[in-house]
Structure 1
Amino acid sequence: MIKVTTEALLKDSTQLFAIDTSLNNFQNYSPLFQPRSPKISLGGTMGLATRPLLFEPPKTIGFDIGLHALDPYMLTPQDIQYFQARVPLSVLNLITAGSAEQVFKMVHTQNVNPNWNIGFNLNFIGSRNFYASNRVLGQNVSDLNAAIFSWYQSKSKRYNMLANVIFNNLKSPETGSIVKDTIFAHANSSFDKATEIVRLPNTFENWKTGGIYIKQSYYIGRIDTTIRTNNANILPTQRVTYIFNYNTSKFNFLQNDIDTYHVFPDYYFSSNRSRDSLNVTHLMNDFGYSFYLRGKSNQFVKNELKLDLGLTHDLYGYTQYVSDTTITQYGSKLRGPDKKQDASFQNITIRGKLSYRFSDRINLEGTINQIAVGHNFGDFLYDAKAILKGNNKAGQIILNGYVQSSSPSLQATSWISNHYIFNNTFRNQKTTSVSFNYINNALQLDLKAEYFLITDYLYYAAQPNGIDAHPVQLGGSINLLKVSLGKNLRWRNLHFDNYIVYEKTDYQSTLRVPEVYTYSSLYYNTYLFKAVHLSAGLDVRYNTPYVAPSYAVGWASFITEKISLSHPTLLVPYF
């Protein structure tokens, strides 16, 4: 009755799957506590600034703003699910802990006709600060994600159109921490921790994005169909694709408090408040052509050669404002937004991918992404992959390697705000990586070993026990080894899922990650009266102590140097 897909699943062919009605991982609703991608943040609730706990390098090239502390709470076109619904479908999800944290998510979708589906997403995140000013609106998290989406497929199955309109409005408090931070060192150092005041009770980040995304594809020539596990996948022999994407982003920092406790290093324009703003517009046009050469089969594809060619044009524009006092023509003082920089530029990226599938057991891929013209000329990402599959008991091996060169971010090179001003020139950061991944679904086993060599690493630093921060580029190279193992055990309705990661780097003082991280979930999964699906259990997370990064308020970035130990263990029962 209900089938679901995503843009990624429609990339090479038309694939549809039944909706997931299991309770697997339902308790980890927060992006902070995903078992294989944990994050650290300024607090235990959703909506606050965050970054990965483990080493997770971004495989992106081109223009980068540099602001990513609230990315996990953004809704993007790649997050949208598309449906084929023979009946209207509504999914409502509510997680609440009173005023401490509330999450509400809603999806509704239905088919206008057999070939056209429409729907919408609506998400809310809210939480209230724990300390004395917890009834001050400036300390509350308030996030809104909204999207309208549509998928149209022609009767001939040749034409597909994915479209969505997305709006994000994220508000994240920047309290500067509590004044009396000794309460964490001594058990009896506070009469009531909820009465402790914070340094900035009315200061917060407000990020807004909005955009429209349309992807169209048309299949040319013969269309093949494979049938696997009751799912029919439609495979083209030639395909042309066009993507149009236009979005605007506004990153606002609003300091409404006098800096009595010296949270900020200095001020350049206003001594008692900040109205820093960065506005970015992005227009993208992407053209692609794919050619498939294969034999005919309705069970699986073998001896398939696939060639993808693409050209992407990106047009960017940005302006940055601060709050400053100006003198009018009549000699009076006027406070308001003052534009400090304004620029526009473009990038043209060429893309290519060549893959060969000897059978359903062996697949080879090579990918090239190169910025050939524009502001970020010279950025590239070259990727190679080999997939070797055995039978169900033998599992599969995935060998992967890539080389990447990416430009430094706008935040690190050209930045003007009330508390931070930078005008720097840095080299591209280069990353070389190789990995080995063994997956055995029959044994519920997943083993992966990764090696990274990072040259000209760019990060943010501060002097010991200081509050100032600035971008720094490491002159040498960083080596990092990351080994992860996932193993799930089951006895009847009792499940025991485990995941462990070991990371080791020769620059631990700069690239700060815990050496060991583990996650275990012990739970009982059953049906009551053949009608109610029940899952109850306990999650345990642990990481070895390490020197955690500090945080630069007003710059929305995590920085090094200031020393503090992370909290290593977290027990989370769920029902």
Structure 2
Amino acid sequence: MLKFAWTFILISSFLSVSAQILDDSTKQVYGPSSVYFIYENELLENLNIKNHPDTLIDKFYKTNPNNRLGWLYQDLGNVGTASKPLLFEPLKNIATQNGYDVFSLYAPKTKNIKYYNTRSPFSNLMYIQGFKGYSQLDFTHSQNINERWNITLDVEKYNSSKQIDASTAEDRLVNHWSYDISSNYISKNKKYTFLGAFYHFNHKQTEQGGILAQENLSIEPKELLANYRSNYSSQLTTGVFSSERWNNLHIFQQYKLKNGFQAFHVMDYERKKNFFHDPAFQTNFNSTAYNLSLDSTQIDTLNQNSLFAVFSNQFGLKGRYRGFDYRMYAKQRFFKQTSIYGDQYTSGLKSESFIGGQLAYYFKDSTNRVIAEAEFSTNLGYFLNGEITFKNFKGQFYQSFSPVGLFYSQFYTPLNEWRNILTNPFNTFIKGTFDFNYSGIYIKPGARYTIYSNYIYLDQKQKITQNSSLFNTLSFDLNLGYSAKRFKFSNEFTLTINSAENILRIPRIINNSNVEFLLRYAKVLNIYTGADIFYRSAYFADAYSPVLQHFYLQDNIKVWGTAVVDPYLAFQVNRVRLSFKFEHANQGLGNQGFYVTPYYLAMPRAFSIKVNWPLFD
């Protein structure tokens, strides 16, 4: 309560000061319209788009990445924990990877870096305080050195706390921080453009192994007790953790030649470090969380770490002619993996080459377009991608033959060892949607069809397995909603039919609903209040292995099968946005909780405050 009090006082004081500084006679020279940013992909596709900082209150109340994406990732119940997507995601990347990706949801991505242009110094502060041990601070400062050169710093820091077996309310479960420093420059004649960024990502997760089953204390969802921290223990002892650290230096530059030709160059140097540490392995080795087939062990402390380093260079030509946008390129990539186990788990310096291109046609109405792109590599991989946007219809065809991650083909620790000869996984993905809009009502039906072949997974004994036969999933989507002056409703429904439920686990039904009302206080303050409702049908979700840092099949525990209700309130004072949210408010109505991953409980009821304060001068 003390933390809540101080947060409330800080916000109240700030609003009071803001009200004194800005009045009706104050002329605001700088604002969202005087600041804009671009993305590298937009520049690469010759799209002249100037994006301005988000000042809308719509969906501002959403907090962590999984929540903002509509809970379309399976995680371990708390912010920042290991996760995997529920549905297939087309990835235009056929380069060899290290095979670790459970923390990728929280990592920076070069395609998302914002390259600013500011008429005056721009700063943006966002703070979230959740009262179950979650806090987040995002800070951005951008400033032009001159009219053609900008430098930006972006920092993100958040923590989440243990919900079981915690000694204090601040006992850390996840400790995350990342930053990126970016710069962009355009020459005086506007022929040369430079974008550059360096990012650092440091993500640490304390491994608890989930809830511990004990005699005389049922962990069945219908019999769970409300206070997890007081009533339950974790499977693993203290001090066990996983972590990842990424560094990436990224450069993009282009030069305009004659007749609309442009030459471009992209360079990346990336390092990914992966760690796992268990200081009491002799105590933990026979836990359900590890699921190891060991009778005994002589290992007191288990340490695992690996380093994956990549250097890539890409050169190409691009341009636009009579509505056609074209791009062609060649790329050379070198990678190497090393670990503390030396030659037993390493990949010497290897190279792979790529050629690719894109052809797009933009209709006179720039919202309508057709895109075709392809890439081929010496690792026998390729991807094809076609997209069409025409009036109310959107369609996509995607096909890939992508290389196997190094984790799946070669791995060694004192506990596990394998050397597998695996075939590149093959996927075909087809998607179509159609929008109907009439007088505030919208209906958006759609379908997604995915074909899998050479699918790689970890079986119930955590053994790498490849399924060579074809199987498929078919998802039907129906998004609908209604928007009026003071009321808004939306519902996103997905039904998935899966022909291989024994190896690919997806909830049959995914449903996200939102209802929102607009209230006006003192004729000047708009207050938006409503609720999100999330539902997933019960299914045998994959279990999580802390040792391997991967998900694997299990057939014993069903997760979800219940709804989560998050009521909220959001409003805006001048340019400051605030929201208050009561997450999982319906806990205790029916049961005291449920699992999102076997042995990992969904977050209990919690209150959170979010504030965003942009400064444009």
TM-score (norm 2): 0.79
> Which amino acid counterpart does residue 565 of structure 1 have in structure 2?
K
**Paired residues for 1:529-548 under 5 Å:** 534-548=527-541
Q: Say whether 1:197 aligns with 2:199.
A: no
Deviations 1:474-508 (CA, angstroms, capped at 9, x unpaired)? 13111111122222311212211221111111111
Q: Is the 8 Å Cα contact of residues 214 and 245 (structure 1) preserved in structure 2?
A: yes
One-letter amino acid of the counterpart of residue 448, structure 1 = G
Structure-2 change in CA distance of 1:531 and 1:345 (3 Å)? farther
Give the SS at the match of 1:411: helix
Q: Which residue of 2 aligns with 1:499?
A: 492
- Partner SS, residue 63 of structure 1: coil
RCO greater where, 1 or 2, for CA within 8 Å and sep 6 or more? 2
Deviations 1:43-73 (CA, angstroms, capped at 9, x unpaired): 2x21111112333354431202111111111
From 314, 317, 336, the counterpart of 1:286: 314
More helix by share: 2
Which residue does 1:229 correspond to in 2?
A: none
Q: 1:194 to 1:18 in 2, by over 3 A?
A: closer
Matches within 5 A, 1:337-376: 340-357=345-362, 359-360=364-365, 363-371=369-377, 373=378
1:102 matched to 2:135? The reply is yes
Correspondence list, 1:240-255, <5 A:
240-255=263-278
Q: Aligned to 1:180, what secondary structure does the other structure show?
A: coil
1:415-564 superposed matches below 5 A: 415-440=411-436, 444-462=442-460, 468-525=461-518, 534-564=527-557
Match of 1:314 among 319, 329, 333: 333
How far residue 570 of structure 1 moved from its aligned partner, in angstroms, is: 1.0
Aligned partners of 1:5 and 1:17 also within 8 Å:
yes
Distance 1:16 1:188 in 2: 54
Q: Counterpart of 1:178?
A: 211
Going from structure 1 to structure 2, the CA distance change for 1:156 and 1:440 (only over 3 Å counts) comes to: farther
- Counterpart-to-counterpart distance in 1, 2:386 and 2:548: 36
- CA-atom RMSD in angstroms: 2.5
Q: Distance in 2 between matches of 1:345 and 1:416?
A: 19
Compare 49-58 and 414-423 and name the one that shifted more. 49-58
Deviations 1:452-480 (A, max 9, x none): 11111111111xxxxx4111111311111
- 1:266 Cα deviation from its structure 2 partner: 5.4
Contact 1:403 1:432 in 2 (8 A): yes
3-state SS, counterpart of residue 184 of structure 1: coil
| Cα deviations by residue, 1:132-177 (Å, 9 ceiling, x for unpaired) | 2344998531101111111112233322111111011100111112
CA distance in 2, matches of 1:497, 1:534: 19
Amino acid at match of 1:203: V
Aligned length: 522
Task: Verify: 1:146 aligned to 2:179, yes or no.
Answer: yes
Contact preservation (8 Å) 1:48, 1:173 = no
Corresponding letter in the other structure for 1:289: L
Q: Give unmatched runs, 5+ long, in structure 2.
A: 1-33, 570-617
Indicate the residue corresponding to 1:42 in structure 2. 76
Does the 8 Å CA contact 2:162/2:173 hold for their aligned counterparts? yes
Gaps of at least 5 residues in structure 1 are 223-236, 295-303, 323-336, 390-395, 463-467
TM-score, normalized by length of structure 1? 0.85
Instruction: Write the letter of the residue equivalent to 1:341.
Output: T
How far residue 527 of structure 1 moved from its aligned partner, in angstroms, is: 6.5
Contact kept in structure 2, 1:47 and 1:73, CA below 8 Å: yes
Is 1:571 matched with 2:565? yes
Alignment of 1:133-282 (within 5 A): 133-135=166-168, 140-180=173-213, 183-185=218-220, 193-195=228-230, 196-200=232-236, 201-221=238-258, 237-261=260-284, 262-263=286-287, 264=290, 265=292, 271-282=299-310
Question: How far is 1:388 from its partner?
Answer: 2.0
Q: Which moved more, 1:541-550 or 1:75-84?
A: 75-84
2:400 to 404, 411, 417: 404
Question: What displacement does 1:192 show?
Answer: 6.0
Aligned partners of 2:59, 2:196: CA distance in 1, in Å? 29
Secondary structure of 1:540 counterpart: strand
Residues 307-366 of structure 1 deviation map (CA, whole Å, 9 limit, x = unaligned): 2110111110110224xxxxxxxxxxxxxx997434210111001112234543753322
Looking at secondary structure, tell me which structure has more strand per residue: 1
